[in-house]
Amino acid sequence: MKQTLMGNDAIALGMIHSNIDMVSGYPGTPSSEILTNVQKLKAQLKLDLYAQWATNEKVGFEVAYAGAIAGRRAAATMKQVGLNVASDPLMSAAYIGNLGAFVLIVADDPGFHSSQTEQDSRVFAKFAKIPVLDPATPQDAYDFVSLAVDISEKFQTPTMLRPVMRVCHARQIVEVKENHEFNPKKGKFQREISRWAAVPRAGRLRQGYEMIDRINAIKEYNWEELIKPEFEACKGGKLLVLTSGTGYGFAKEALEDLGIKADIVKFKMPYPLPENKIREQFANYEHILVVEEPMACIEEQIMASNVHGRLDNTMNVIDELQKIYIQDALTKLGLYKGENLYPSIPFKDEIPARPPNLCPGCPHRDVYYSIMKVFKKKKSIYPSDIGCYTLAINQEAIDTVLCMGASVSMASGFSIADPEKYTVATIGDSTFFHGGIPPLINAVYQKHKFLLVILDNSVVAMTGRQKPPQRQNGEVDIVKIAEGCGAETYEYVYSNDLNDTISFFKKMKEKYENATGPIVAVVREFCVLDKEVVGQHIHGEFAKVIAEECVACDHCTTIYKCPPMGYNEEGKVEIDPFLCIGCGSCLNVVCPTEAFTVDEERSK
């Protein structure tokens, strides 16, 4: 049966068709739709399975992995930087193994489209000594879930599925199973302390040798089942291209465009590779070019004098693959001497680049504006965190962004390094649950003095509005958590009257002056994209500008920075009615000449 599926849809359906019945993870582009779609399929098909977001990737990994130890088929989902958080249990799980299938799905983001770093999770799999599958298309993504389940159960090892953004978000007509009957395994934990709780050194050393034997056995499997048929179809000649994932499509198209004949071998499993058997094939070729992204995972395993790629700068060393990079590589190897088929031609009517910005009406804008107005730019340090509130960097209201939860621990560091300044850290609710609690405990017991503002909009807005723990029920409360950590904690319910927000932060500044440790301000907000609640907060109070009062001071366009605000041909500020959502926040405080007023006509 054929279905048009996005890559992440295909992975979700592949899990159902592989009878995976425990799925946990943490949202992050480009992986977020995988678990969301499993939840949708669960509801549509009335399936008895566990599919829930965890508080962070490490927790999600461990929940799912416990299911696999107990014999059920399980999967954990995350993006590549999330694997850094889950790397701790991954390293131990690679030694211990599993009984039921455990598929670790990590979506990579070559080109930094929505990530702070460009990482290659295939290299992480190599580091952990677990097999990794690299789909090139949504069809591969669907098929490889089943393959990963088979490998994981056959060799009793965690098995990684590594789609990249262009696979996760691409759409393709995919051939899928028809009339699949969901039939998950029963979980039954069997005590085996020497395996599941092996401690240094005797137990782990034995498991370490077993892990090496296991990875060597998977190499043989990879050769016999997946790679050997590829080489048997090769003809030999000047050029052999070795590739995996999206590199296959780029290489195939570029060779066709350039009119160059070559054999292409696509590695479904780029680690572990049977390197010696692969090198034996090199005698049939003059050049071997490795096309992969974003790092040299394949190339490092099969290095030889005639192998070229990222390590010798034949291919691009960073950034997402493009066909121009392959053309350049073939030119360097002397295999292409024709014209540049991929010239960069700037679009003559190109729209000017715009900086990232918070949504019109977003309460984060008012909170950051108020913090800056009270604590001042030059007198304070503003560490922040990962989430849509990071977009306040456009208001110059953020000094540092490192990784999930680092706003709190870096605030500790800044309070020690530069105590003459105020340190005001900001973090979202989901990020606080993810990685903000341990550093807050650390700050309390070590008495690090700073203000932590927790922006609680009760939704993981940037990755698709997943619901964080406090949204599910009233059992988890951020104020109580902060108090439980020992922090002096205050609560503020957002008002669209900026005077109220500024007054609250003036109060926080007074508290800061007399504090001996961290103080926490939990700001109860909402998300303007959250259709379930936004109607309770946006009352349709639209603004307009009295042209005669506008002195073009730039305050609204350079400090407050709401997207509808811009200059007209007369040099006066105007409100774009198409972008204004009627929050009314700009009617107070923002304009020094009080040029903003209620648009009575639109506000009726």
Show the beta-strand stretches assigned E in 375-517.
Answer: 380-381, 383-384, 400-401, 422-428, 451-456, 488-493
What pLDDT was estimated at residue 275? 97
The CATH number assigned to the domain holding 262 equals 3.40.50.920
How large is the average pLDDT for residues 65-89?
97
d(CA 275, CA 516): 60
Q: Give the residue among 480, 551, 468 at the shortest CA–CA distance from 55.
A: 468
Residue 289, strand partner residues:
241, 308
**Residue 596: predicted pLDDT:** 95
Judge whether 354 lies within some domain: no
Q: List the beta strands (DSSP E) in 365-518.
A: 380-381, 383-384, 400-401, 422-428, 451-456, 488-493
Q: Whose CA is closest to 326, among 254, 253, 266, 242? A: 254
Q: What is the pLDDT of residues 530-565, one digit of tens each?
A: 999 999 999 899 999 999 999 999 999 999 999 999
Per-residue pLDDT at 1 exceeds 90? yes
Mean pLDDT, the chain, whole residue set: 95
Band (474; pLDDT cuts 50, 70, 90): confident
Tokens 């590695």 label which residue?
Answer: 267
pLDDT at residue 199, as a whole number: 83
- Report pLDDT for 440: 98
Q: Is the pLDDT of residue 575 over 80?
A: yes
Bridge partners of 575, per DSSP, are: 565
Q: What pLDDT is attached to residue 200? A: 82
On whether both 32 and 121 belong to a single domain, the answer is yes
Q: Which pair of tokens denotes residue 281?
A: 């094939």
Mean pLDDT, rounded, for 344-351: 77
**CATH number of the domain that residue 98 is part of:** 3.40.50.970
Considering the domain architecture, whether residues 326 and 373 belong to the same structural domain is answered as no
For residues 553 and 512, the answer to whether their CB atoms sit within 8 Å is no
The pLDDT, as a whole number, for residue 530 is 94
The answer on whether 359 is annotated among ligand-binding residues is no
Same domain, 154 and 228: no
The two three-digit tokens of residue 130, written as one number: 């677990």
* Average pLDDT over every residue of 469-481: 91
Question: Does the pLDDT of residue 250 top 90, yes or no?
Answer: yes
pLDDT at 286: 96
Mean pLDDT across the stretch 272-276?
98
For residue 52, report the phi and psi dihedrals to the nearest 5 degrees: -140, 150
Return the structure tokens found at 244.
């995996």
Residues 263 and 390 in one domain: no
Predicted pLDDT at 212: 97
- Token reading at 100: 């039921």
Whether residue 419 is contained in a domain is answered as yes
Domain containing residue 571: CATH number:
3.30.70.20
Looking at the fold, whether 163 and 255 belong to one and the same domain comes out as no
Q: What is the 3-state secondary structure (H, E, C) of 406-417?
A: HHHHHHHHHHHH
Q: What is the pLDDT of residues 170-188, one digit of tens each?
A: 999 999 999 999 999 899 9
Structure tokens at 563: 């997207």
Instruction: Determine the 3-state secondary structure of 298 from DSSP.
Output: helix
- Of the three residues 494, 527, 560, the one that is the final residue of a domain is 527
Q: Is 362 labelled as part of a ligand binding site?
A: no
Give residue 387's pLDDT: 94
The model's confidence at residue 349, banded by pLDDT at 50, 70 and 90, is confident
Q: Rounded mean pLDDT of 1-12?
A: 97
Residue 409 has pLDDT above 80, yes or no: yes
Write the pLDDT tens digit of every residue in 253-264.
999 999 999 999
Q: Predicted confidence band at 345 (pLDDT cuts at 50, 70, 90)?
A: confident
Q: What is the mean pLDDT of residues 37-53?
A: 97
Name the residue range of residue 317's domain: 219-333
What's the pLDDT score for residue 353? 77
Whether residue 562 is annotated as binding a ligand: the answer is yes
Query: Do 40 and 209 touch, CB atoms closer than 8 A?
Result: no
Supply the DSSP symbol for 29.
Answer: T
Domain-located, residue 213: no
Looking at residues 71-93, what average pLDDT do you find? 97
Q: What is the pLDDT of residue 344?
A: 85
Residue 497 lies in a domain: yes
- The count of residues in the chain is 604
pLDDT at 41: 97
Query: Per-residue pLDDT for 198 more than 90?
Result: no
* Per-residue tokens: 490: 């205050």
CA dist 241 and 234 (Å) reads 11
Between CA 459 and CA 481 the distance in angstroms is: 18
Residue 99 domain-assigned (yes or no): yes
Please report, rounded to a whole number, the percentage of residues in the chain having pLDDT higher than 90: 93
pLDDT digits (tens, 9 = 90+) for 213-240: 999 999 999 999 999 999 999 999 999 9
- Total structural domains within the chain: 4
Whether residue 372 sits in one domain with residue 280: no
One domain, residues 441 and 498 = yes
Report whether 456 contacts 491 (CB < 8 A). Answer: no
Q: What angle do CA 46, 1, 50 make, to 5 degrees?
A: 25
Q: Is the domain of 385 the same as that of 518? A: yes
pLDDT for 510 beyond 80: yes
The answer to whether residues 290 and 375 belong to one domain is: no
E strand or H helix at 470: helix 469-472
pLDDT at 313: 97
**Residue 227 and residue 248 in one domain:** yes
For residue range 286-308, list pLDDT tens digits in order. 999 999 999 999 999 999 999 99
Q: What is the pLDDT of residue 208?
A: 95
Residue 202 lies in a domain: no
Given a cut of 90, whether residue 346 has pLDDT beyond it is no
The model's pLDDT over 355-387, given as tens digits with 9 standing for 90+, comes to 889 999 999 999 999 999 999 999 999 999 999
Q: How many CB atoms lie within 10 A of CB 507?
A: 14
Would you say residue 442 lies in a domain? yes
Residue 586 annotated as lining a ligand binding site: yes
Q: According to the model, what pLDDT value does residue 55 have?
A: 95
Tell me, yes or no, whether 314 lies in a domain: yes
| Cα separation, 313 vs 483, whole angstroms | 54
Cβ atoms 234, 284 nearer than 8 A: yes
Confidence of residue 456 (pLDDT cuts 50, 70, 90): very high
Q: Does the pLDDT value for residue 132 go beyond 80? A: yes
Are residues 280 and 302 located together in one domain of the fold?
Answer: yes
The whole-number average pLDDT for the span 77-103 is 97
The total of other beta-carbon atoms located within 10 Å of residue 283's CB is: 8
- 472, 493, 527: which is the final residue of a domain? 527
Please give the single-letter amino acid code of residue 284. N
Contact 251, 258 (CB under 8 A): no
pLDDT band at 334 (very low <50, low <70, confident <90, very high): very high
**Whole-number pLDDT of residue 540:** 92
Q: What are the residues facing 545 on neighbouring strands?
A: 596
**How many angstroms separate the CA atoms of 98 and 535, rounded?**
48
